[in-house]
Amino acid sequence: MIVLLHVSIAVASLVLVTHTFFKPANKTLFASYGSILATLMSGLYLVLIEPARMPHTCEVGLIYLVIAVTMTLMARTRLLSTKKSEKTL
C-alpha cells in the first residue's frame, strides 16, 4: 500500500515540477519543493521498512531527485530572470 502511495506522490511531484518549469510562479515553486520532500520522505520510509529493496530504490530515487531538482532550479532561475526584467521595464 505504501509503495502505491509513494509512486503516486512521485508521479504527482513530477507533474507539478514540470508545470512549474513551464509556468514558474512562487506558489508552484514552493509546492514543488514540498512535493520533492514528500517523495523523499516516503522513499526513506520504504527503505527503512524494506532494506532488501534499497539498491534499486536508491537508483530510481537518485534519477528522480536529479530530474526534479534540476527542473525546479531551472524554474527558479527563470522566475528570477522574469522578475528582474519586469523591474527594468
Neighbour-count burial of 51, counting CB atoms closer than 10 A to its CB (0-12 exposed, 13-18 middle, 19+ buried): exposed
Q: How far apart are CA 80 and CA 89, in angstroms?
A: 15
- The answer, as to whether pTM is greater than 0.85, is yes
Q: Can you count the helices (H) and strands (E) in the chain?
A: 3, 0
Can you give the pLDDT of all 89 residues of the chain as single tens digits? Answer: 888 999 999 999 999 999 999 999 999 999 999 999 999 999 999 888 888 877 777 888 899 999 999 999 999 999 999 888 877 76
